[in-house]
Amino acid sequence: MANSSLPRTAISSSLEELIEIFRWIRAHEKNERGQVTVLIGGWAVYSYNPWYGSVDIDLVTNSRSRQDLMWYLRNERGFIPQRDEMAPTTVAKNVPEGKIIIDFGSRGDICRFEGRDEQCLFSLLDGRTQMREIVTGFPVIVPEQTLLVIFKLKAAWDRSFRIKNGRSSDEEWETGKLKKDRADILALIDPEIRDTEIDIQYLGERLHEYPFLVQMLQEIPEDLDAINMYRRMSQEDVRARIENLLLLALEDKYK
């Protein structure tokens, strides 16, 4: 079943697990030079624009915290290791509403774009994270908004490539995930979001490094399913917003 069609109760269960995870992180990373674990993915998007949430939980951490946190999740929260060719460091938990999957990455992971030699390293997070609230009074560390857009564009690129080239092990599921990724991108670039701003210069730098991601942005206005899923922007608004962002970002890079 595609993530986008799962019941809201599955998302609520995921949020409960997310809160417990970051309670553990607060307690166990408090003696380090700041927390090292960063929340990425759909829940990070939610911290900027609480439009949907996620069932999966995506974390970037170091090997020590990952090992300790996986032990906690297995022994205290009922998660079990899951072998996944897309994400080898994964634990999962079956709940009445579905399955919650937690993926772990580290800053040293080699994260190549599907079908390409270019890499999108999690070390991009260095110096580009901030504290934001998932629920009132409960802050977590997430990527800066513009970097999160880049991460979501990479996810969209990878899924689109696998689908187009017959490399997806579950095309129906991955198509639903691609729709959600595009809707999350809309949630991040929506000009009506309060207290947020796209860093045009940084966006231009990353699009210059990964020029094929321009196509990923340009495809979004044609994905009516993603637009209808987000529901807060018309197709015309989406097209105008993306055209304007690309104009500003690419012009700014070459000034």
Tell me whether strands 98-106 and 90-95 are parallel, antiparallel or unpaired.
antiparallel
The mean pLDDT value for 39-54 works out to: 96
User: Length of the chain, please?
Assistant: 255
Q: pLDDT of 177-229, one tens digit each?
A: 999 999 999 999 999 998 888 999 999 999 999 999 999 999 999 999 999 99
Going by the DSSP 8-state scheme, the letter that residue 119 receives in this structure is B
Q: How many CA atoms lie within 13 A of 41 on its CB side?
A: 20
Mean of pLDDT values over 81-108: 83
Q: What are the pLDDT digits (tens) for 47-75?
A: 999 999 999 999 999 888 899 999 999 99
pLDDT of residue 33: 62
pLDDT at 205: 96
Give the architecture-level CATH label for domain 3-253: 2-Layer Sandwich (3.30)
**Sign of the C-alpha dihedral computed for residues 131, 124, 115 and 157 taken in this order:** positive
Note the pLDDT of residue 3: 43
Q: How confident is the model at residue 32 (pLDDT cuts 50, 70, 90)?
A: low
Average pLDDT over residues 92-102: 91
pLDDT in tens, 145-175: 999 999 999 999 999 999 999 999 899 999 9
The larger pLDDT score, comparing residue 26 to residue 143, is at: 143
CB atoms within 10 A of CB 126: 9
Contacts of 222 (CB under 8 A, 6+ apart): none
Which amino acid belongs to residue 186? L
Q: How many CA atoms lie within 13 A of 45 on its CB side?
A: 27
pLDDT at 175: 96
| pTM for the structure as a whole | 0.92
Q: Report the percent of the chain where pLDDT is more than 70.
A: 91
Comparing 9-13, 71-75, 230-234, the range with the smallest average pLDDT is 9-13
